[in-house]
Structure 1
Amino acid sequence: MGRVDTQLLPGPLQKAVDGFRRYLEGECARSAHTVRAYLSDVESLLGFAVQEGVQELRQLELGSLRRWLGAQSEAGMARATLARRAATARSFTGWALREELIETDPAVRLQAPKRDKSLPGVLQQQQVSRMVDDLNTAAADGGPMALRNRAMVELLYATGVRVGELAGLDIDDLDPDRRTVRVLGKGNKERTVPFGVPAAVAVDDWLRRGRPAVVGATSGPALFLGVRGNRVDPRQIRAVVSELLQALGDTSATGPHALRHSAATHLLDGGADLRAVQEILGHSSLATTQIYTHVSVDRLRKSYQQAHPRA
């Protein structure tokens, strides 16, 4: 079941959707992208329930929730998406219970298929070096976009920040003396992340020789700019990194998140403390960071099997 036109929802249900939107935007301070995703899921759920005769939230039952997920599963929806939609449904009905729009929470016992436990794509350190060498070669000509691309990739790998966090950086978020950057993450949580000398050199080169060549009236304080002087768009960053990874030719890693995965894994491989990596990545839960220990163990196991004579 896809997104349902909210104009088809009965008044009480539409009122609940509007209230949930205000809750997400206000109390939760969710990003616009996250709010849209949550509302799309809720509208899909309520649209399905309306087809089953539900006219107000108090009529919503566990059976409808299960049939809603079941219909999507039969349509071939990925388990990860089903798990996300089930989580959204639980958030929505939990909010409705607190707001006394319903007397009991029908989603308490709602379950969805478990997510596939796939490990994230990770670059080898030699592959990162090759990618940086390509960026240095391109930047040698001094073109502003080549300088920008090198600085963006160096900073992505050095800090492990998300692509949206990188796009949102302003110049004064940098502390060149301490080699740290102030990052505004999910839920408007701020953290300070260190970076190394190569990233510092690349960013400084961009600020001195690249950014002044494209800065314009609409640039504002944005650290990274597009060719027309506007703040760089996350899609532009994804395109740059995807092209670089494709050029390597010997990795399954794709997109900017591969650099985040790689940074975390290489930190742990180098002996970094798990909680320090959690702080750097901005994870609210240590359990999220622990997947990178699995990556490290998996890499260790492969190395052992290849190298040990009795493996």
Structure 2
Amino acid sequence: MSTPSERRAHSQGKTVQDAVERYLTYKIQAEGSRTTMRSPLMGFAEFCRDELGIEDIGDLEPADVRRYSEDLYDRTKIDEEISASTAQTYFAYVRAFLSWCVRDQLLETNPADTTEAMDPLPEDDGKRKTQYWSEDEREQLINYVTKRVDMALEGTIRVDRETAFRDRAIVVMLDGTGARGAELFSDPKDEKRDGLRWSDVDFEERSIEVYGKSRDYETAPFPESVHDVLERWRGLLDPPTDEWPVFPTGHYQSKRQELVESIGKEAVSAALEDRGDAGKTEVLDRLHREHEVPPPSISKEGVRRLMKRLTKEAGIEPDGDYDYLTLHGARRALGRDLYASGLSEKAQEALRHQSIETTHEAYSDTKMKDVSDSIDEVRD
């Protein structure tokens, strides 16, 4: 049996991605299984490199795999991007891969075989939870947030006009661009995801640049329906710099902390003490503008709470597994509408899937319904 020092020497210089390639080539014999496992395992390798800063497979520890479990939890519970069963499956692939790494003397022990690593995983209740915003739900929600803007301007609701305009822009952006929540809003666990900035918005070319799932910048569509609403929101917000977030947070402590880190605690405290009749939030907003310190963007979780509130206020009762209109449900609906219209390649482009096969898989139920309808037409 090899010693720990011999194993470290054997694994030194072997990246997680290299180990994944070897595992798929020499361990997984069935072509179908190899194809199925490649994407999640390569996703794990990219997570290790980009999120954890880990290149060598021998550097992996249980705390690192726990971070991966936490990411799967967020993709399930916050982003509603994958189901709990899919999260469990992805983790099982990783655990099997790391067990092979132990046998291949790349690791001394399997860092996924610990309670610490597995604890954050979402529980699988056996249900596949997906949602598509229906046409009626979309219309009802957009009509409501538009009416909410009018009521805020009239002063008939306890929502200020900036918040009402921002919230309408959030809904319309989710509905019309197909962008993921993690691409539009901040993620406190990922410093690279600090929310969409006005510098990322090109009104003339009608496109937005987002930090995509690929961990690279990608161009997303920006249709006319989004353009008009966002232009009105920008006119009201009047951002002092292009680095201002498109959707600033309304969270007091987050804005205060950003100012403390930029201009110092004493300056912020002094301004708050001398505020007179002005509200504390008003003072913070003024300081952000005076010193051109962009406030934080609203977070994914903040938008998730917002969508729950707006769905309820609009009187919408969605069918299916969720009692509110989810962020990812808007993305799925856009892809479904394009796909069902026979525009599968446009759906792929809008959703920025790497391959058309991914798009076909995502809308296999829609494709099968089309096949069923065709059978009815032929047999009629």
2-side partners of 1:192 and 1:42: how far apart? 27
CA shift, 1:37, in A, is 9.0
Specify whether residues 98 and 175 from structure 1 end up closer, same or farther in structure 2 by C-alpha distance, changes over 3 A only: farther
1-side partners of 2:174 and 2:63: how far apart? 25
State which of 229, 232, 235 in structure 2 corresponds to 1:205. 232
Amino acid at match of 2:165: L
Amino acid at match of 1:40: R
Q: Does 1:260 align with 2:331?
A: yes
Q: Does 1:230 align with 2:335?
A: no
2-side partners of 1:128 and 1:207: how far apart? 23
Aligned residues: 245
Q: Does 1:158 align with 2:176?
A: yes
Q: Secondary structure of 1:290's match? A: helix
Q: Secondary structure of 1:235's match? A: helix
CA shift, 1:291, in A, is 3.6
Cα contact 1:245–1:251 (8 A) shared by 2: no
Specify whether residues 279 and 119 from structure 1 end up closer, same or farther in structure 2 by C-alpha distance, changes over 3 A only: farther
Deviations 1:187-213 (A, max 9, x none): 31222122222211111111111x34x
Specify whether residues 170 and 101 from structure 1 end up closer, same or farther in structure 2 by C-alpha distance, changes over 3 A only: same
Partner of 1:294: 364
CA shift, 1:267, in A, is 1.6
Partner of 1:134: 144
State which of 81, 87, 91 in structure 2 corresponds to 1:85. 91
Deviations 1:62-121 (A, max 9, x none): xxxxxxxxxxxxxxxx6434312212224545677899447xxxx9xxxxxx99794731
Deviations 1:3-41 (A, max 9, x none): xxxxxxx99999x9xx98999578732489xx9996118
Normalising by structure 2, we get a TM-score of: 0.52
Amino acid at match of 1:123: W
Deviations 1:41-64 (A, max 9, x none): 889xxxxxxxxxxxxxxxxxxxxx
Partner of 2:280: none
Cα contact 1:156–1:260 (8 A) shared by 2: yes
2-side partners of 1:276 and 1:101: how far apart? 44
Deviations 1:127-163 (A, max 9, x none): 2111100010011234111111111111111111111
Q: Does 1:125 align with 2:172?
A: no
Cα contact 1:42–1:88 (8 A) shared by 2: no
Partner of 1:111: none
1-side partners of 2:246 and 2:235: how far apart? 12
Cα contact 1:173–1:183 (8 A) shared by 2: yes
Cα contact 1:42–1:92 (8 A) shared by 2: no
1:242-261 aligned at under 5 Å gives the runs 242-246=308-312, 247-252=315-320, 253=322, 254=324, 255-261=326-332
Amino acid at match of 2:215: N
2-side partners of 1:101 and 1:36: how far apart? 12
1-side partners of 2:16 and 2:362: how far apart? 34
State which of 40, 49, 54 in structure 1 corresponds to 2:66. 40
2-side partners of 1:299 and 1:245: how far apart? 29
Amino acid at match of 2:305: A
2-side partners of 1:20 and 1:226: how far apart? 39
Gaps of 5+ in 1: 1-9, 44-77, 108-113
Cα contact 1:157–1:259 (8 A) shared by 2: yes
Specify whether residues 26 and 259 from structure 1 end up closer, same or farther in structure 2 by C-alpha distance, changes over 3 A only: closer
Specify whether residues 223 and 132 from structure 1 end up closer, same or farther in structure 2 by C-alpha distance, changes over 3 A only: same
Normalising by structure 1, we get a TM-score of: 0.62
Q: Secondary structure of 2:220's match? A: strand
1:1-311 aligned at under 5 Å gives the runs 28-30=49-51, 39-40=65-66, 79-92=85-98, 100-101=106-107, 118=128, 120-140=130-150, 141-142=152-153, 143-167=161-185, 168-209=195-236, 211-212=237-238, 220-227=243-250, 228=252, 229-246=295-312, 247-252=315-320, 253=322, 254=324, 255-273=326-344, 275-297=345-367
2-side partners of 1:181 and 1:95: how far apart? 41
1-side partners of 2:234 and 2:6: how far apart? 53
Specify whether residues 184 and 301 from structure 1 end up closer, same or farther in structure 2 by C-alpha distance, changes over 3 A only: same
Amino acid at match of 2:354: S
Amino acid at match of 1:248: I
CA shift, 1:235, in A, is 0.8
Q: Secondary structure of 2:210's match? A: strand
Cα contact 1:122–1:262 (8 A) shared by 2: yes
Deviations 1:179-235 (A, max 9, x none): 1111111231222122222211111111111x34xx799x95322101244211111
Amino acid at match of 1:263: L
2-side partners of 1:200 and 1:194: how far apart? 10
1-side partners of 2:145 and 2:63: how far apart? 35
Q: Secondary structure of 1:183's match? A: strand
Q: Secondary structure of 1:149's match? A: helix
Q: Secondary structure of 2:234's match? A: helix
Cα contact 1:127–1:248 (8 A) shared by 2: yes
